[in-house]
Amino acid sequence: MSLFVQKYGGTSVGTVERIESVAEKVINFRKQGHDMVVVVSAMSGETNRLIGLANQIQDSPDAREMDVLVSTGEQVTIALLCMALKKRGFDARSYTGTQVKILTDSAHTKARIQDIDVSNMRADLDAGRVVVVAGFQGVDEHGNITTLGRGGSDTTGVALAAALKADECQIYTDVDGVYTTDPRVCEGARRLDKITFEEMLEMASQGSKVLQIRAVEFAGKYSVPLRVLHSFQDGPGTLITLDEDFSDMEQPVVSGIAFNRDEAKVTVAGVPDTPGVAARILAPIGAANIEIDVIVQNASADGTTDITFTVHRNDLEKAKTVLGKVCTDVNAREVIADDKIAKVSIVGVGMRSHAGVASKMFDALAEDNINIQMITTSEIKIAVIIDERYLELAVRSLHKAFGLDAIEK
Ligand code: ADP
Ligand code: ASP
Ligand code: MG
């Protein structure tokens, strides 16, 4: 008998029929004698609908009230799933984040979990009940409802699995595992049997939304066995593993390709090339709580240079306002903004032991006439900023160039 924490995403609980199917599935595990803790997302589209309502009132509503609002989505699904379980004669109890006591910090809309009280859940499990927990939400030390950022139900699942020392955390979704790239964009994408935590962390941070990055961080930190599976199709899914040495397959150089359209690029042009000027430009950006991703400084010509960096698209207007002032302060020529960019990244632990990966990537992009605007690397990743229009072409070309189309399932 095992303890499983299963998380079902928005599409998997998107209709009453699907919620009933999830109940059937959970019951099958119960019948095999397993203890079950089930985390659910809001019904698909619900979180966006709630955010839309708020935005009809205000562009950036109060973060505390936003959390009160968006946390309601998950409260609906926990109750409906419990009803579906009880209708079938299985005892179940629903919990909001507050009722469990998933304690977080007070960073509304992007709170971090600090502690989980497992006592209520343990008592229910001991009494033979299925425990159903609302994903994506917690409570801070003052009793305020908090949420964990978009996709945060994954993190609830992993955190509960860590706290309860579950045998496995299973993330059920609308794909049958983690693929070499988003199967919606590349037909040749293949399911991976395994992927290392490190690679999954890079894939998630570079834009693969199949798992929230914090969920992967948590699983790595607490060694939670983590698997991504299809909610309604049988199959082994993808295991996220600490083990880098896959004896059953040859380790490819590149394991996956991630991308996102979430960033925008800003250039401060004609900056005097003197010590300290980059700090004077970036400090006010940091002070305005704007996160920076890729940064490039051009070689200086005629004593001036250009500093370009990317920010989240939602922060572009704020960044432009901050930089307008900075531009005058540092005596730069102008600020140029571009939100029609995309970032494409190749990820793989195999890169560590292979030379020439970057040139192969750049060759593949050149062959399709795709101009690289910025480049950034880490030990197991190379990412480029390109024109958004060429994103899908770039993903497909790189997928082919690195032999991912050919990997056997
Ligand atoms: P859920 O609502 O179940 O949390 P998400 O929409 O958050 O589901 O995540 C699943 C989606 O992630 C898939 O439908 C797929 O389009 C997308 N995705 C992006 N990159 C990948 C990848 N490498 N492998 C699998 N799915 C991916
Ligand atoms: N419902 C939340 C969202 O849409 C959390 C989740 O589904 O993981 O982001
Ligand atoms: Mg998700």
Ligand nearest to the CA of 46: 2
> What is the tens place of the pLDDT at every residue in 304-324?
999 999 999 989 999 999 999
* Ligand 2 centroid to residue 150 C-alpha, Å: 5
> How many angstroms separate the CA atoms of 165 and 372, rounded?
45
Q: For the segment 131-182, what is each residue's pLDDT rounded down to a tens digit?
A: 999 999 999 999 999 999 999 999 999 999 999 999 999 999 999 999 999 9
Best CA proximity match to 293, nearest among 260, 257, 322: 260
For residue range 95-135, what is the model confidence (pLDDT) as tens digits?
999 999 999 999 999 999 999 999 999 999 999 999 999 99
pLDDT of residue 109: 95
pLDDT, position 221: 94
What pLDDT sits at residue 406? 61
Residue 73 Cβ < 6 Å to ligand 2: yes
pLDDT tens track for 195-241 = 999 999 999 999 999 999 999 999 999 999 999 999 999 999 999 98
Q: Is 97 in the pocket of ligand 2 (CB under 6 A)?
A: no
Q: What pTM was computed for the model?
A: 0.93
Reply yes or no on whether the pLDDT at 383 is more than 80.
yes
Give the ligand whose atoms come closest to the C-alpha of residue 40. Answer: 2
Hey, what are 140's tokens?
A: 């801070």
Determine what percent of the chain falls in helix, strand and coil, rounding each to the nearest 5: 40, 25, 35
| pLDDT greater than 50 at residue 409 | no
Bridge partners (DSSP) listed for residue 238: 228
pLDDT number for residue 300: 82
Residue nearest to atom 27 of ligand 1 (CA): 182
Q: Which atom of ligand 2 is nearest to the CA of 9?
A: 7
Ligand 1 pocket residues where CB is under 6 Å = 9-12, 41, 151, 173-175, 178-179, 181-182, 184, 208-210, 256
For the chain, the average pLDDT equals 94
Distance in angstroms (rounded) separating the CA atoms of residues 299 and 302: 10
- Say what the pLDDT of residue 157 is: 98
- What spacing in Å lies between the alpha carbon of 155 and ligand 2's midpoint? 10
Which of 286, 382, 297 lies closest to 332, judged by CA?
Answer: 297
CA separation for the pair 90, 406 (Å, rounded): 45
Best-predicted range by mean pLDDT (26-35, 235-244, 327-336): 26-35
Whether residue 244 has pLDDT greater than 80: no
Q: Look at residue 164 and give its three-state secondary structure.
A: helix
Nearest CA to ligand 1 atom 4: 9
252 CA to middle of ligand 2, Å? 32
Q: Give the closest residue (by CA) to ligand 2 atom 8.
A: 151
User: Bigger pLDDT: 343 or 329?
Assistant: 343
